[in-house]
Amino acid sequence: MEGEPGPLKEHLASWRIGKAAELVLSSDDALRALLSILHGKDKELKKAALIALEEALKGMPDVRRLGLVKVLLDTLIDLAKEGDDDLLIRALRTIRALITGIPLDPRSFVKLNHALKDLVKQRGNEVVLLEIPSILENVRVTSSDPRVYDVISRLLHSRNPRLKAMGLRLTLNTSSYTGDSSLLKMIFSEIKDMLTGEDIALTDFALNILLEVSDCPLQEELVDEVAGVLTLVKNLAIGRRSELREKARIVAEKLEDSIYRYYKNQPEEAKEKIQELLINERFYEAIDLALAVGDTYVLKWLEGELERMEKERLKINERILPGPKYPSPPPESKAQKTLNMPDLHKFRGGKLDLEKLTKNAEISKQIPRMPDEETRRELEAVLTSGKTSKLVDLALRKPEVVFELERKLEEGSKLEKMDALWALSKLSEKLKPKAVFILEPVVAKLFEVAHSTKNRWMRLRATRTLATLALKSKRRDEIVGKFLDGYLSREKRRAISALEFFSYYFLETWDEKTARMVLPGLRRFLKDDRLRFDALMVLEAIVTSIPAEKAKLLRDYVPLLERIKKTALPDEQKLAIRILEEMASRFKVLFNRRVI
């Protein structure tokens, strides 16, 4: 390859990388000159050339990079094999910049993966090995080919766990999920050994794979494997390796959400599966599955089963991911808690509810601030039964149970707090708007839980309950206003709960005034790697509820979503694609002369 280095070589020799990258982007002659330098013998100059090439590739359109794969890939692989660690790292990073977002032809796919396999087998430098996963995550192939599947098959059957992990990653990259559970079952089965060893890089790689697949719908034949993986991941989330805890916690929460959605309204089926795990002495898996199901009835039953099997030492609370801290309020604040009864004239209809509400309280002003012992026992029996109808009946007869639920949130064990959140969630859903005022005393405590970032299950329960109350109670403006304040603040803790709130709120209603305040700030959150997924959930909810005539409010989000679907994490890409498809089906006006 010909090309006079000239000005390019001067820029590289003085490490003016930006200037060199600009030259390569603007001139084919400069690119040829850079390739000439890469084939030379000056290692320092080659390192500078690789950095400049990486920067230039990041600025190139996909079509141009696609054309450069055959020109550059062989050269970059050869540089990676030269034996110099710095050169190797730069070559690997340049390969990643070259292939990100574009598919490889089968020949290039095979050559690249053979090179990466050799590096994994031969290298002892962990820094080098840490560069490989980010390349594998971006490897795609243009078409099915026996050579491609031969490479993947050999990796999957390797005894080297890192090579097997490569095989799992490439299997995901080259397969499209169509609902067949066999792919997911293989991944969940094979990945277990990668979560228990001392190889931190391998475990981190395995967690990245799980981040991608944990959003897939759970099916019956997957429950056994998912339960086993969930326990291993939770061990990491509460374990001694601080560098893995946060990612493991996120994966565990995703798996718990998947299990929760699968067993929602199916407590008996959940009990059967947990019983099966207990019989097979998979006790921690049974506990973790029950916590993921999140049904008080199931948790109480499991507690009894563990006691009957003389396994009391296995504490359910110890398997709950770190939860929020609740400051204990001063005694005088508890003594002041009262619930004001509404005047009778405010009710129209709903006679039965009104009779229950006023039966055991003075209609004039107040009801008892705390329930008596008999009422507490009734509440415990209802929580143990897990029957929503009994809970609603008790709350209508004795509204003071709300204070007991608030006390559980303030002072109770983690299990009692979960009981209280379940009960408040169900009451907010089932009570009629005329009766939902009885939940008002606990709104402040629900906000406190909603603003915690430590226990996602509890935070989401509280946020969802507040969203339901906002839709049904007279405190709508107050609740929405508080979350808007958090949304518009720069405080991450409040912003997270606000995003979660609006993702529920807009699913159920179209509120144009609030939407016009939320939408401008959403762009900032969509650009934040830490908050992008939650922001996408809000946008999806708005797209679902917005009337067609207001669709133009969303026009500016189309190009941003198109960028996200190409550059973000896999689960964010999928969500962006889903939103774009929904927008395209409902609002064709947004896509004039635009192709998704």
My answer on whether 459 and 516 are in the same domain is no
The pLDDT tens digits along the chain (596 residues) read: 444 457 888 888 888 898 999 999 998 899 999 999 999 988 889 999 999 999 999 988 888 888 899 899 999 999 988 878 888 889 999 999 999 888 888 899 999 999 999 888 876 556 667 788 889 888 888 777 888 889 988 999 998 889 999 999 988 887 654 445 677 888 899 999 999 888 888 899 999 899 888 877 788 888 999 999 999 999 998 887 778 888 888 899 889 888 988 887 788 888 899 999 998 889 889 998 988 888 777 888 888 888 888 776 776 767 776 532 233 333 333 333 333 333 323 333 334 344 444 443 333 234 445 667 888 888 888 887 777 888 989 989 888 889 989 988 888 877 788 888 889 988 998 898 888 889 988 999 999 888 875 667 788 889 999 999 999 988 888 999 999 988 888 777 788 889 999 999 998 899 999 999 999 889 889 988 888 988 999 999 999 899 988 888 888 888 899 888 888 877 788 888 888 888 877 776 555 544 33
Q: Give yes or no for a contact between 376 and 404, defined as CB atoms under 8 angstroms apart.
A: yes
Spatial contact of 202 and 194, defined as CB atoms under 8 Å apart: yes
- 500 and 580 both lie in a single domain: yes
253 assigned to some structural domain:
yes
In a domain, 416, yes or no: yes
- In terms of Cβ atoms closer than 10 Å to its own Cβ (0-12, 13-18, 19+), residue 84 is middle
Pair (305, 189) in one structural domain:
yes
- Give the 3-state secondary structure of residue 141: strand
Does 179 lie in the same domain as 304?
yes
On whether residue 29 sits in a domain, the answer given is: no
Question: How far is it, in rounded angstroms, from Cα 219 to Cα 553?
Answer: 38
Same domain assignment for residues 190 and 306: yes
In 3D space, the residue among 427, 429, 433 whose CA is nearest the CA of residue 398 turns out to be 427
Last residue within a domain, chosen from 426, 447, 473? 473
How many domains, the chain? Answer: 3
512 and 402 both lie in a single domain: no
Domain-located, residue 548: yes
**561 plus 501 within the same structural domain:** yes
What 8-state DSSP symbol labels residue 192? G
Closest listed residue to residue 290, CA positions, set 308, 327, 315:
315
On whether both 415 and 531 belong to a single domain, the answer is no
Q: What is the rounded CA–CA span in Å between residue 542 and residue 556?
A: 14
Q: C-alpha distances in angstroms, 89 versus 12, 86, 130?
A: 18, 5, 10
CA 179 to chain centre: 20
Give the domain-ending residue among 443, 473, 503: 473
User: Residue 182 is inside which H or E element, if any?
Assistant: helix 181-190
Judge whether 166 lies within some domain: no
CA 553 to CA 545: how far, in whole Å? Answer: 13
Four-residue CA torsion sign, 338, 340, 341, 347: negative
Residues 376 and 422 placed together within one structural domain of the fold: yes
Give CA torsion, residues 298, 303, 306, 308, to 10 deg: -100
Q: Are 181 and 221 in contact (CB under 8 A)?
A: yes
267 lies in some domain: yes
Instruction: Measure the CA angle with vertex 250, ends 249 and 255; round to 5°.
Output: 95
Domain boundary residue, one of 267, 297, 312? 312
Residue type, 496: I
Radius of gyration for the alpha carbons in the chain, expressed in angstroms and rounded: 29
pTM (predicted TM-score): 0.54
| Nearest of 536, 387, 406 to residue 462 by alpha carbon | 406
User: Is residue 410 situated within a structural domain?
Assistant: yes
What's the maximum distance between 2 C-alpha atoms anywhere in the chain?
Answer: 95
Q: Do 468 and 497 fall within a single domain? A: no
Looking at the fold, whether 191 and 273 belong to one and the same domain comes out as yes
Identify whether residues 295 and 189 lie together within a single domain: yes
Is 134 inside any structural domain? no
CB 584 within 8 A of CB 557: no
Q: Mind giving me the DSSP string for 313-335? A: TS-SGGGSPP----PPPPHHHHH
Domain limits for position 279: 175-312
Nearest by Cα to 139 from 129, 151, 128: 151
